[in-house]
């Protein structure tokens, strides 16, 4: 067994104070996102996030996906609706998104309810993807058991021949989810483990209640 008790790091890059934050968490998320994007070294995907769901088997499961859009409505990502993730969300729309930006010593944790985006939004995004990504979405029976890697690659070659010179339309089982936030927590690493944690919670009047949490 590995003993990790001596792993230590002092977080001292920034601070998060009530006197300098906006009333809306989306504005603060936008600020943090672009700060990480500008100060990053290009090795990490700033829009990579964990999506946690409650599966049909009753167990939670977390996986990393890519955020593709965010605005005042919420956060959008795309997936196969027939995948394990898609089925879990359609059965229980309560999800959690998590961003960890190590270089800036920051985390953002978003609790919200997921819903399918409009078909035209999914169509527009699908049309913007490279041809290989479009065919990949069609060929992959995501989360289902397949016999081998060769099986997958052979099916892709068949699709490449089938769609050569033709328009590739979005399959109905593939599209976007919009996560509408009800709680957004911002975590900024600080020295001596006295981290800053600021939580926004949506109220019945659609205003955000702001609280500081103990680290």
Q: Which DSSP symbol is given to 13? A: S
Q: How many residues does the chain have?
A: 215
Instruction: List the one residue out of 193, 213, 211, 186 whose CA is nearest residue 36.
Output: 186
3-state secondary structure 60-75: EEEEEEECCEECCCCE
Phi, psi of 91 (to 5 degrees): -85, -35
Show the tokens assigned to 206. 């659609």
**Residue 170 catalytic?**
no
| Options 193, 197, 199, 212, the catalytic residue | 193
Phi, psi of 106 (to 5 degrees): -135, 150
Token pair 């230590």 is found at 8
Q: Exposure string (b/e) for 32-61, b if CB count within 10 Å is 16 or more?
A: bbeebeeeeeeeeebbebebbbbeeeeeee
DSSP 3-state assignment of 37?
Answer: helix
Show the tokens assigned to 209. 């209640």
Instruction: Provide the annotated active-site residues.
Output: 193
């Amino acid at each position: 067994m590995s003993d990790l008790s001596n792993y230590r790091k002092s977080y001292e890059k920034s601070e998060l104070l009530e006197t300098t934050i906006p009333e809306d968490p989306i504005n603060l998320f936008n600020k943090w996102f672009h700060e990480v994007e500008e100060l990053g070294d290009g090795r990490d995907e700033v829009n990579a996030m964990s999506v946690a769901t409650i599966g049909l088997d009753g167990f939670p499961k977390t996986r990393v996906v890519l955020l593709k859009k965010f605005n005042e409505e919420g956060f959008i990502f795309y997936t196969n609706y027939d995948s394990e993730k898609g089925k879990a969300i359609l059965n229980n729309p309560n999800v959690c998104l998590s961003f960890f930006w190590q270089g800036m010593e920051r985390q953002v944790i978003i609790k919200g309810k997921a819903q399918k985006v409009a078909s035209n939004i999914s169509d527009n995004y699908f049309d913007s993807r490279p041809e290989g990504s479009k065919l990949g979405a069609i060929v992959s029976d995501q989360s289902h058991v397949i016999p081998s890697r060769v099986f997958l690659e052979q099916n892709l070659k068949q699709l490449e021949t089938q769609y050569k010179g033709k328009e590739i339309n979005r399959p109905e089982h593939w599209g976007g989810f919009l996560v509408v936030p009800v709680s957004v927590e911002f975590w900024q690493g600080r020295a001596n483990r006295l981290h800053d944690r600021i939580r926004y919670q949506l109220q019945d009047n659609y205003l955000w209640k702001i609280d500081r949490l103990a680290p």
